[in-house]
A and B are shown apart, each in its own frame.
Chain A
Amino acid sequence: MVVPVATATSGHGFLDPGDLARLASLELRARVVVEGALQGLHRSPFRGYSVEFAEYRPYLPGDDPSTIDWRIYARSDRYYVKRFELDTNLPCHLVVDASGSMAFGTGAVTKFAYATWLAAAFAYLLVQQRDAVGVIAFQTDVIAHVPPSTRRGQWNTLLAALTNLSAASTTSFQRPLQRVAEAMTRRGLVIVFSDLLDDDEEVVRGLRLLRARGSEVVVFHILDHAEVTLPYARASRFRDPESGRELLVSPGVIRDEYQRAVELWCETHRQRLREAGVDYIRVDTSAPLESAVLAWLAHRGRSIG
Chain B
Amino acid sequence: MGFLTPLFLVAGLAAVVPLVLHLLSRDVGPVVSFPMVRFLRPTTVEQARKRRPTDWLLLALRMLALLLLALAFGRPFVEDPEALAKTRGAVVAIDTSASMKAPSTWAEARTRALAAIDAVPSQEAVAVIAYDDAVHVLQPLSADRASARAQVEALVPRAGHGTIDAAVRGALDVLASREGRITIVSDLQRSSVPTAFDVPEGVSVSLVAVPPAAANLAVASLDGDATSIRATISNAGGDPRTVAVSVSHDDREIGRPMLTIAPRASATATVETPQPRTGVLRVAVEDPGGLPDDDARVRVLDPAPAIAVFVVTAPDRARDALFVEAALGAVDPSVPFAVETVTADRVDAAAIDRLRQRDGVLVLMSTRGMPAERRRTLAAWMQGREGRTLVAVGPEIEAGALSEMFGSATTLRVREADAVPLPTALVAADVRHPIIAALGDERSGLDAARVTRVVRLAGIESGVVMRFANGLPALVDTPVGDGRIVVFASDLSMQWNDLPRQPVMVGLTASLIRELARRDEVVEAIGDATGDLQRPRVVSGARGRVAVNADPAESQIDVAAPAEVEAAIVRSGKQLGIPPAAIARDTERAQSWWRVAILVMALVLVIESVVGAVRRAPVTGGA
Interface size class for chain A? Answer: 35 or more
- In the complex, what distance in Å separates the CA atom of A246 from the CA atom of B31? 9
Point out the residues of chain B lying under 8 angstroms from A100, CB to CB: 35
* Interface SS of chain B: loop
Q: Are A261 and B42 in contact (CB under 8 A)?
A: no
Q: Are B40 and A239 in contact (CB under 8 A)?
A: no
Interface locus among A43-51, A55-63, A248-256: A248-256
Point out the residues of chain B lying under 8 angstroms from A248, CB to CB: 28, 42-45
Known: A106-B621, A232-B622, A235-B28. A253 touches B43 (CB 8 A): yes
Say yes or no: is B1 at the interface (Cβ < 8 Å to chain A). Answer: no
Point out the residues of chain A lying under 8 angstroms from B38, CB to CB: 197, 240
Q: Which residue of B lies closest to A99 (CB)?
A: B35
Distance in Å: Cβ of B309 to nearest Cβ of chain A: 93
Q: Which residue of A lies closest to B42 (CB)?
A: A247
- In the complex, what distance in Å separates the CA atom of A235 from the CA atom of B42? 10
Q: Are A265 and B28 in contact (CB under 8 A)?
A: no
Q: Are A233 and B37 in contact (CB under 8 A)?
A: no
> Would you give the 0/1 interface string for A97-111, flagging 1 where the beta carbon is closer than 8 Å to chain B?
000110010110000
Contact of B34 among A107, A233, A239 (CB under 8 A): A239
Distance in Å: Cβ of A97 to nearest Cβ of chain B: 11
Interface size class for chain B? Answer: 20 to 34
Known: A227-B35, A232-B32, A257-B41. A252 touches B49 (CB 8 A): yes
Q: Which residue of A lies closest to B28 (CB)?
A: A235
Q: Are A262 and B43 in contact (CB under 8 A)?
A: no
Q: Are A237 and B43 in contact (CB under 8 A)?
A: no
> Would you give the 0/1 interface string for B47-60, flagging 1 where the beta carbon is closer than 8 Å to chain A?
11100000000000
Point out the residues of chain A lying under 8 angstroms from B40, CB to CB: 238, 247, 249, 254, 258
Say yes or no: is A231 at the interface (Cβ < 8 Å to chain B). Answer: yes
Point out the residues of chain B lying under 8 angstroms from A247, CB to CB: 37, 40-42
- In the complex, what distance in Å separates the CA atom of A248 from the CA atom of B49? 13
Say yes or no: is B333 at the interface (Cβ < 8 Å to chain A). Answer: no
Say yes or no: is A22 at the interface (Cβ < 8 Å to chain B). Answer: no
Say yes or no: is B36 at the interface (Cβ < 8 Å to chain A). Answer: yes
Q: Are A254 and B41 in contact (CB under 8 A)?
A: yes
Name the residue in B26, B30, B620, B621 with the highest tally of chain A Cβ atoms < 10 Å from its Cβ.
Answer: B621
Say yes or no: is A234 at the interface (Cβ < 8 Å to chain B). Answer: yes
Q: Are A234 and B39 in contact (CB under 8 A)?
A: no
- In the complex, what distance in Å separates the CA atom of A195 from the CA atom of B34? 13
Q: Are B623 and A236 in contact (CB under 8 A)?
A: yes
Q: Are A262 and B29 in contact (CB under 8 A)?
A: no
Known: A106-B622, A231-B622, A233-B623. A250 touches B48 (CB 8 A): yes
Q: Are A104 and B29 in contact (CB under 8 A)?
A: no
Q: Are B35 and A249 in contact (CB under 8 A)?
A: no
Q: Are B43 and A234 in contact (CB under 8 A)?
A: no
Point out the residues of chain A lying under 8 angstroms from B49, CB to CB: 235, 250, 252
Say yes or no: is A168 at the interface (Cβ < 8 Å to chain B). Answer: no
> Would you give the 0/1 interface string for A256-299, flagging 1 where the beta carbon is closer than 8 Å to chain B?
01100110010000000000000000000000000000000000
Say yes or no: is B33 at the interface (Cβ < 8 Å to chain A). Answer: yes
Known: A233-B622, A234-B623. A240 touches B39 (CB 8 A): no
- In the complex, what distance in Å separates the CA atom of A265 from the CA atom of B38? 11
- In the complex, what distance in Å separates the CA atom of A250 from the CA atom of B47? 7
Distance in Å: Cβ of B357 to nearest Cβ of chain A: 89
- In the complex, what distance in Å separates the CA atom of A175 from the CA atom of B285? 137
8 Å CB contacts to B: which residues of A188-229?
Answer: 195, 197, 226-227
> Would you give the 0/1 interface string for B80-109, flagging 1 where the beta carbon is closer than 8 Å to chain A?
000000000000000000000000000000
Q: Can you list 6 A-B pairs, Cβ within 8 angstroms, ordered by A?
A: A226-B34, A227-B34, A235-B45, A235-B47, A238-B33, A265-B39
- 6 residue pairs, one from A and one from B, having the closest CB atoms: A235-B48, A101-B35, A234-B29, A236-B29, A240-B37, A250-B43
Binding site for A on B (CB under 8 A): 26-45, 47-49, 620-623
